[in-house]
Structures are given as structure tokens and as C-alpha cells.
């Protein structure tokens, strides 16, 4: 009976030890995956506003944080398309803005149905460059009677 009890106790201890081993192994593997991810997508610092802006300070701060959070998910030393959306209250304002854009480095697509325009440019996967582009288009929108709706990143290169 004592031998059976010892065998059961030993078996139970072996099961517990194996479970602890598997749990530690899984934690180690998860940590290694996390370390690889972090090494490939280094966290970038918050961008800074270059010069003066007519945009509200709370809006600028929001763009700073959003651009950082979004850009942190991309690897460095790549390029990516940034697509901005601007809406207008009248077709006349939309057309005036598109004429202004013909003199810039943005490619754009007009959507007459909802009086909006999408501006596309290629930037480096750098939070400061993304932030600069966002501020530039938001200010252009403000100056030309548009409403800056935001941006998305597409086509990592």
C-alpha cells in the first residue's frame, strides 16, 4: 500500500512538473516572438510640430499621438502610401482645391458624389514624415474651405 501511495505521489509530482515545464516553455516562446517583433518594428518617438500652425492645439496633439501609434506598427526603412481625405461643402470649393493640387506632388482622386477628394503621396515609414504630411494637408484643407477627415496608410513597400 505504501508503495502504491508513493507511486501515485511520484506520478502526480511528475505531472505537475511537466505542466510547469510546458507553461515556462510557452512563456519563453511568447517572449522570443515578442522580442523579434519589437526588433523589427522599433517604437518611434512622438513627432514635433515644425513651425507655427493655424490648427487647434488639441487637434495637433491628437495627430501627433495617432501618427505615432499607427507608424509604430510598421517596420522602419520602408516606404508607404499615405492617403488623406478632405471633404467640402460645395463643388466649387472642391474644384478650387483640386486646381491647387495640380501644382503639388500629390496625386488625387475626386469623388463628386460626396464632395470629397483623396490625396495620395509616398512617404518613408517615419513618424515625423507622416506627421508633417498630415499637418500639411490639414492646414491646406483649413485654408481652402475643406474639412480634413483623416488618413490611412496603404501599400507598404
pTM of the model: 0.69
- Reference 87, options 110, 108, 115, 112; nearest CA is 115
CA–CA separation, 43 vs 72, rounded Å?
Answer: 5
Helix 127-143 vs helix 57-71: crossing angle, to nearest 10? 140
Residues of the chain with confidence (pLDDT) below 50: 6, 10
* DSSP summary character for residue 71: H
Helices (DSSP H) in 41-154: which residue ranges? 57-71, 91-101, 127-143
Which one, of 136, 39, 128, lies nearest residue 84 by Cα?
Answer: 136
Give the per-residue pLDDT at 157: 83
**Cell numbers standing for residue 93:** 470649393
Q: Which residues of 106-134 are buried (b: 16+ CB within 10 A; e: fewer)?
A: bebeeeeeebbbbbebebbbbbbbbbbbb
Helix (H) or strand (E) holding 85: strand 79-88
- pLDDT value at residue 138: 94
pLDDT at position 6: 47
Domains of the chain are 57-154 (3.30.70.970)
- pLDDT, residue 38, reads 52
Angle at 155 between CA 154 and CA 157, to 5 degrees: 135
Residue 75: what pLDDT? 87
Amino acid at each position: 500500500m505504501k508503495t502504491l501511495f508513493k507511486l501515485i505521489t511520484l506520478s502526480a509530482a511528475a505531472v505537475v512538473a511537466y505542466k510547469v515545464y510546458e507553461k515556462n516553455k510557452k512563456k519563453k516562446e511568447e517572449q522570443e516572438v515578442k522580442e523579434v517583433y519589437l526588433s523589427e518594428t522599433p517604437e518611434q518617438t512622438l513627432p514635433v510640430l515644425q513651425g507655427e500652425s493655424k490648427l487647434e492645439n488639441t487637434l495637433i496633439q491628437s495627430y501627433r499621438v495617432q501618427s505615432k501609434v499607427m507608424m509604430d506598427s510598421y517596420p522602419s526603412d520602408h516606404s508607404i502610401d499615405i492617403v488623406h481625405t478632405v471633404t467640402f461643402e460645395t463643388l466649387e470649393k472642391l474644384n478650387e482645391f483640386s486646381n491647387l493640387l495640380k501644382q503639388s506632388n500629390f496625386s488625387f482622386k475626386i469623388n463628386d458624389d460626396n464632395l470629397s477628394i483623396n490625396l495620395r503621396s509616398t512617404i518613408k515609414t517615419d513618424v515625423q514624415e507622416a506627421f508633417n504630411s498630415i499637418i500639411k494637408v490639414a492646414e491646406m484643407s483649413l485654408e481652402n474651405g475643406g474639412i480634413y477627415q483623416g488618413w490611412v496608410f496603404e501599400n507598404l513597400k
